[in-house]
Structure 1
Amino acid sequence: MTFFHFINCSALTFLPHFIYYKATPLSDYDTFTTSAKAAAVYIATALLKLICQATFLRVQDADVFDLNQEILKGLIGFLDIVGIYFALTQLQYRNISQNHKFQAVGLGWAFADSVLHRAVPLWVNARKAESSWDDLLQGFEANANLVFNLSLAALASLIWLRKSKPAGLLPILYTFAGVHAALPVVLSYLRLGKVTDGVSVVGFEIAAVVVLAIISWRLFVLCSYRNSA
């Protein structure tokens, strides 16, 4: 990978997190500590997921898709929701609003995910003679992951932090939280099942994340409207 390609891919992967922090009220309310704590919870959650995967999943070929194994991975993936629940409700933060809290937690969660899963591949590929489109795809995936985690944190905040919400919305909130947890299994099927190429998988991921984010935003607005009414 050329030096400039490495810089471009790194900026595409990590810079949007800083832009989001500076361009939103998060920087005005000094929520950096909140994001840092959420990132620490993510690292602990990722370690717990690795232990569970090593314990309950059997070793298989990297290019083989096993539905039972992927379903088990999806169940283990629910630990992310448990981790976000812990980050939102159990950690002590300075007095910030619910809107800022879920954004700070989602931002820290997404940034930690990008660092753990994408920093090393970018650095390894930077030492190769030729650049790869996979590095650009990782950058787009990191941006989709940022939106995905903000959306998931918004849903989690509605479920666990919003005290007064319409009872009829609870099944919808839990359903879409489950959809968020199941999305990685679907993406794994598309990748390992060789259903389509990498660019199409990333395109599907971005489209799915945008749809989920719009739904989460509408649910958040609806709950806020009901509270103010």
Structure 2
Amino acid sequence: MTFFHFFNCAALTFAPHFIYYKATPLSEDDTWMTSIKAACVYIITSLVKLICLATFLQVSESDASEPSEELLKALIGFLDLAGIYVALTQLTHRNISHNNKFQAVGLGWAFADSLVHRLAPLWVGARGLEFTWDHLLQGVEANANLILSLSLASLGSLMWLRKNKPAASLPFLYTSLVIVACMPDITSYLQRAMGWDLVSLVGFEVASSLLMALVAWRLFCACQRPVSA
């Protein structure tokens, strides 16, 4: 029974990544190597962020969150943008379209995040004798992160790969990119400082990821239209 619960939680966490790959043109264009490269960039970026946090962040003796600490964490969190930039522009890709490239990068980014942050807790916790909803909620959280990672990669592709963009869309593009990049720090702040429980936190992540996906889709459609002279 415990293995069955672990299997369900693992399927909820990781299966959507494979389903997305098979259900989209990514599998037809054989973009799995692009996703693997993006996953490697994510792991390297996470290591750099950990080193920066350990080097520059001073551990407070009190549980209260200091504004300077939160600001520093947010600035370090922007290293994700550097990682997405490298994955989109600096890695060698096969001859694939920009649409498939950002999807492959976002998919690899999200899969690496789930692998790094959720596989070990699932293996240790979901196989326990006592049933909890926490690991199922983590699977839902992984799906929300998949949507958010695809949104981040799509906004990054518009920023760095799309040459001609409507001038009216630029403020929305910059603002959306910053908000999506800050979402992990926002959810972390809500959990630690505001004391949100896991259900409320996952609900917020699902709602915010769907909202940002809608914004990213609208911006992507707007930037595909020909720019008038």
Tell me the TM-score normalized by structure 2. Answer: 0.94
Distance in structure 1 (CA, Å) of the matches to 2:31 and 2:192: 38
1:170 aligned to 2:170?
Answer: yes
Aligned position for 2:93: 93
The Cα of 1:132 is off from its aligned counterpart by 1.9
Aligned position for 1:32: 32
Instruction: Judge conservation of contact 1:42–1:112 (CA < 8 Å) in 2.
Output: yes
1:143 aligned to 2:120?
Answer: no
Instruction: Judge conservation of contact 2:87–2:105 (CA < 8 Å) in 1.
Output: yes
1:53 aligned to 2:53?
Answer: yes
Task: Please report the RMSD computed on the Cα atoms of aligned residues, expressed in angstroms.
Answer: 1.9
Q: 1:169-216 CA deviation, whole Å, 9 max, x = no partner?
A: 222211111111222222112111244321011101110111000000
- What residue identity is the alignment partner of 2:3? F
The alpha-carbon distance between structure 1 residues 126 and 177, as it changes in their structure 2 partners (threshold 3 A), is same
Aligned position for 1:74: 74
Distance in structure 2 (CA, Å) of the matches to 1:52 and 1:177: 22
Q: 1:40-93 CA deviation, whole Å, 9 max, x = no partner?
A: 111110110010010011224796433321221111110001000000001111
Instruction: Judge conservation of contact 2:169–2:222 (CA < 8 Å) in 1.
Output: no
- What residue identity is the alignment partner of 1:37? K
Q: 1:87-144 CA deviation, whole Å, 9 max, x = no partner?
A: 0001111100000000000000000000000000111113422122110111011000
Instruction: Judge conservation of contact 1:38–1:105 (CA < 8 Å) in 2.
Output: yes
- What residue identity is the alignment partner of 1:29? D
Aligned position for 1:226: 226
- What residue identity is the alignment partner of 1:221? C
Instruction: Judge conservation of contact 1:71–1:185 (CA < 8 Å) in 2.
Output: no
Distance in structure 2 (CA, Å) of the matches to 1:204 and 1:96: 34
Gaps of 5+ in 1: none
- What residue identity is the alignment partner of 2:112? A
Aligned position for 2:42: 42
Aligned position for 1:180: 180
Identity across the alignment (%)? 62
Count how many residue pairs are aligned between Structure 1 and Structure 2: 229
The alpha-carbon distance between structure 1 residues 56 and 27, as it changes in their structure 2 partners (threshold 3 A), is same
Distance in structure 2 (CA, Å) of the matches to 1:173 and 1:153: 12
The Cα of 1:146 is off from its aligned counterpart by 0.2
Instruction: Judge conservation of contact 1:125–1:131 (CA < 8 Å) in 2.
Output: no
- What residue identity is the alignment partner of 1:27? S
Instruction: Judge conservation of contact 2:45–2:80 (CA < 8 Å) in 1.
Output: yes
Judge which range, 61-70 or 158-167, deviates more.
Answer: 61-70
Distance in structure 2 (CA, Å) of the matches to 1:148 and 1:63: 29
- What residue identity is the alignment partner of 1:131? F
- What residue identity is the alignment partner of 1:175? T
Aligned position for 2:113: 113
Distance in structure 2 (CA, Å) of the matches to 1:83 and 1:223: 23
1:200 aligned to 2:223?
Answer: no
